[in-house]
Amino acid sequence: MPPFSVGHPATKAADPLRVPRRAARNARTSEVVAASIRSQVARGELKAGDRFPPEDQLMEIFGIARTTLREALRILEAEGLVTVVRGRHGGPRVTTPTVEHLTRLFALLLQIEGVAMTDVYAALAVIEPQMAGRLARNRDPRMLAELKTVIETAAAAAGEEGATFSGAAAAVHEKIFEHAGNASLAIFARLLRELVTQHSRRSGQAADRTGRRRALRSYRKLYKLVEAGDADGAEAHWRSQMSYPSSHSTQPVDLFS
Q: Which of 31, 64, 94 is the last residue of a domain?
A: 94
- Is position 144 within any domain? yes
- Is position 255 within any domain? no
Mean pLDDT in residue range 227-236: 97
Collapsed DSSP state (helix, strand, coil) of residue 10: coil
Residues 104 and 229 in one domain: yes
Residues 73 and 89 in one domain: yes
Q: Write the DSSP assignment of 220-255 as a string of letters.
A: HHHHHHHHTT-HHHHHHHHHHHHTTGGGG--PBP-S
- Is position 6 within any domain? no
Residues 162 and 78 in one domain: no
The span from the CA of 239 to the CA of 34, in Å, is 43
What total number of domains does the chain contain? Answer: 2
> What domain range includes position 19?
12-94
The beta strands (E) that lie in 25-161 are given as: 82-85, 91-94
Ramachandran angles phi, psi of 207, nearest 5°: -65, 135
- Is position 7 within any domain? no
pLDDT tens digit sequence for 34-78: 999 999 999 999 999 999 988 899 999 999 999 999 999 999 999
The DSSP output letter for 243 is: T
231 pLDDT higher than 70: yes
- HEC per residue, 141-204: HHHHHHHHHHHHHHHHHCCCCCHHHHHHHHHHHHHHHHHCCCHHHHHHHHHHHHHHHHHHHHHC
Residues 66 and 110 in one domain: no
- The distance of Cα 6 from the centroid of its chain, to the nearest Å, equals 29
Residues 158 and 66 in one domain: no
- Is position 5 within any domain? no
Residues 82 and 104 in one domain: no
What pLDDT score does 33 carry? 94
The span from the CA of 193 to the CA of 199, in Å, is 10
Which sign, positive or negative, has the C-alpha torsion 37, 187, 157, 197? positive
Residues 81 and 189 in one domain: no
The span from the CA of 172 to the CA of 154, in Å, is 8
Question: Dmax of the chain from CA atoms?
Answer: 67
Q: Which of 49, 67, 94 is the last residue of a domain?
A: 94
What pTM does this model have? 0.73
Mean pLDDT rounded to a whole number for the chain: 84
Q: Residue 257 in contact with residue 202, Cβ under 8 Å? A: no
Residues 86 and 66 in one domain: yes
17 pLDDT higher than 50: no
Any idea what the CATH number is for the domain that residue 222 is in? Answer: 1.20.120.530
Residues 169 and 47 in one domain: no
Any idea what the CATH number is for the domain that residue 79 is in? Answer: 1.10.10.10
The span from the CA of 81 to the CA of 22, in Å, is 24
What pLDDT score does 161 carry? 65
Out of 98-102, 121-125, 221-225, the most confident range is 221-225
118: left (phi over 0), alpha (psi -120 to 50) or beta: alpha
Residues 52 and 139 in one domain: no
Residues 78 and 119 in one domain: no
Q: Which of 60, 76, 94 is the last residue of a domain?
A: 94
244 pLDDT higher than 80: no
Residues 239 and 112 in one domain: yes
Question: How far is CA 229 from each of CA 70, 128, 209, 218, 222, rounded to the nearest angstrom?
Answer: 54, 17, 30, 17, 11
